[in-house]
Chains A and B, each alone.
Chain A
Amino acid sequence: MIYLTRYLLRHHIRSQKYFAPVIFYIIAMLLIYSYKPNPIADSYSVTAMLLFLAAAWLGVMVMNTEPAKQYQLLVLHTGSRRKVVTSQLICAWIMQFMLTVITVLYPVFAGMFERQPTGEEWMMTWLGHLGLSLLGLGISLFFQKSYIPLLSRSMPALIIVLLLSFIQGSLSERLPESLQWLGRILPPAFYQVREMMLFDESKMSSFVSVTLWTVLYASGLLIIHVWLSGRRDLRS
Chain B
Amino acid sequence: MIQLTWSTRGLFKKSDQATLDSSGRGMLLQQVSKRLGSTQVLNQINLEVKQGECAVLIGRNGSGKSTLLRMLAGILLPDTGSIQRTMKGSDGYAVDGLPRLPFTSGEYLWDMGRIRGIHPEVLRGRIRELSELLYLDTAIDQKLPLLSKGTLQKVNLIQALLPGPGGLLLLDEPLSGLDTPAQEAVVSLLGQWKVEGTSIVTACHEPLLIERLADQVVVLQEGRVLRYWSREDVLQAGEPVVRIQSLTKAEEDLANDPSILKQSGVLSLVRNTSSEKSNYWLWDWKVVQKSTDDVLRMILASGGSVVSVQQEESQLHMESLLEGQHPAVYSSRGVDPESMRLSPSMDSEGREV
Instruction: Answer yes or no: B329 CB below 8 A from chain A CBs.
Output: no
Instruction: Answer yes or no: B98 CB below 8 A from chain A CBs.
Output: yes
Within 8 A of B (CB), among A162-188: none
Minimum distance in angstroms from B9 CB to a CB of chain A: 8
Residues of B within 8 A of A72 (CB): 70, 73, 75, 93, 95
Instruction: Answer yes or no: A69 CB below 8 A from chain B CBs.
Output: yes
Digit string of A90-127 for contact with B (CB within 8 Å is 1, else 0)? 00000000000000000000000000000000000000
Instruction: Answer yes or no: A70 CB below 8 A from chain B CBs.
Output: yes
- A73 close to B159 (CB less than 8 A): yes
Choose one: B73, B90, B111; the contact of A7 (CB below 8 Å).
B111
CA distance A72 to B101 in the complex (A): 14
Within 8 A of B (CB), among A195-214: none
Kindly state the interface size class of chain A when it binds its partner: 20 to 34
Instruction: Answer yes or no: B350 CB below 8 A from chain A CBs.
Output: no
Instruction: Answer yes or no: B258 CB below 8 A from chain A CBs.
Output: no
Within 8 A of A (CB), among B69-124: 70, 73-77, 90-93, 95-99, 101-103, 111-112, 114-116
- A69 close to B99 (CB less than 8 A): yes
CA distance A73 to B9 in the complex (A): 22
CA distance A236 to B91 in the complex (A): 18
Instruction: Answer yes or no: B181 CB below 8 A from chain A CBs.
Output: no
Within 8 A of B (CB), among A216-232: 230-232
- B102 close to A78 (CB less than 8 A): no
Digit string of A1-22 for contact with B (CB within 8 Å is 1, else 0)? 0011001000100110000000
- A78 close to B116 (CB less than 8 A): yes
Residues of B within 8 A of A7 (CB): 111, 114-115
Please give me the residue from chain A that is nearest to B70 by CB atom: A236
- A76 close to B10 (CB less than 8 A): no
- B95 close to A79 (CB less than 8 A): no
- B93 close to A70 (CB less than 8 A): no
A236/B90 contact (C-beta < 8 A), A3-B114, A69-B99 known = no
Instruction: Answer yes or no: A26 CB below 8 A from chain B CBs.
Output: no
CA distance A3 to B109 in the complex (A): 13
Digit string of A70-85 for contact with B (CB within 8 Å is 1, else 0)? 1011111111000000
- B75 close to A234 (CB less than 8 A): yes
Choose one: B9, B77, B99, B115; the contact of A77 (CB below 8 Å).
B115
Choose one: A75, A77, A79; the contact of B75 (CB below 8 Å).
A75
CA distance A72 to B160 in the complex (A): 12
Residues of B within 8 A of A75 (CB): 74-75
Please give me the residue from chain B that is nearest to A3 by CB atom: B114
Minimum distance in angstroms from B93 CB to a CB of chain A: 5
Please give me the residue from chain A that is nearest to B100 by CB atom: A67
Residues of B within 8 A of A69 (CB): 95-99
Residues of B within 8 A of A3 (CB): 111, 114-115
Minimum distance in angstroms from B4 CB to a CB of chain A: 12
Choose one: A15, A78, A230, A232; the contact of B115 (CB below 8 Å).
A78
CA distance A3 to B70 in the complex (A): 25
- B99 close to A74 (CB less than 8 A): no
CA distance A77 to B114 in the complex (A): 9
CA distance A234 to B99 in the complex (A): 16
Minimum distance in angstroms from B146 CB to a CB of chain A: 14
Residues of B within 8 A of A14 (CB): 102-103
- A233 close to B115 (CB less than 8 A): no
CA distance A234 to B74 in the complex (A): 9
Minimum distance in angstroms from B316 CB to a CB of chain A: 29
CA distance A3 to B93 in the complex (A): 20
Minimum distance in angstroms from A84 CB to a CB of chain B: 9
CA distance A72 to B98 in the complex (A): 11
CA distance A78 to B9 in the complex (A): 22
CA distance A231 to B91 in the complex (A): 20
- B116 close to A73 (CB less than 8 A): no
Please give me the residue from chain B that is nearest to A15 by CB atom: B102
Choose one: B9, B76, B111, B112; the contact of A234 (CB below 8 Å).
B76
- B90 close to A79 (CB less than 8 A): yes
Please give me the residue from chain B that is nearest to A83 by CB atom: B115
Within 8 A of B (CB), among A58-76: 67, 69-70, 72-76
Minimum distance in angstroms from A148 CB to a CB of chain B: 15
- B77 close to A67 (CB less than 8 A): no
Instruction: Give the residue among B11, B90, B93 with the most A Cβ atoms within 10 A.
Output: B93
Digit string of B9-35 for contact with A (CB within 8 Å is 1, else 0)? 111000000000000000000000000
Residues of B within 8 A of A233 (CB): 75-77
Residues of A within 8 A of B103 (CB): 11, 14
- B159 close to A11 (CB less than 8 A): no
CA distance A199 to B217 in the complex (A): 71
A70/B75 contact (C-beta < 8 A), A76-B93, A77-B116, A79-B90 known = no
Minimum distance in angstroms from A96 CB to a CB of chain B: 22
Contacts A72-B93, A234-B75 known; list 7 others, CB within 8 Å: A14-B103, A67-B99, A67-B101, A69-B96, A72-B75, A73-B95, A76-B75
Q: 4 tightest A-B contacts by CB?
A: A67-B99, A14-B102, A3-B114, A69-B95
8 contacts between A and B (CB under 8 A): A3-B114, A14-B103, A72-B95, A73-B93, A73-B95, A75-B74, A77-B112, A234-B70
